[in-house]
Amino acid sequence: MTRWQRILRRTGLDQVSPVIRKTVVGVIGITVVLLGLVLIFLPGPGLLVIVIGLGILATEFVWARRLITRGREVAKKVGRSMKGTVKQ
């Protein structure tokens, strides 16, 4: 059983209709992502909030999981390329 399934079971949300659960998760996740986009231009941790919002969306939507996976791959590539440019 995944962590998300355990959380759903403990809170009783596993008994809620999947359509309602996806809608609620979608609204909350998109709201957090939009807040992160606003925080990019205002003082605040915009990228971190966007990642958290995508994490919320990834609990119910496959496209968000793929986006997070792709983001991890890109971050690893950038990290490897930055290691080569740093002088020690």
Tell me what percent of the residues of the chain surpass a pLDDT of 70: 94
pTM value is 0.76
> What's the whole-number mean pLDDT along residues 29-36?
95
Interatomic CA distance for residues 27 and 6, integer angstroms: 22
* Segment 62-73, tens digit of pLDDT: 999 999 999 999
> What's the whole-number mean pLDDT along residues 38-67?
92
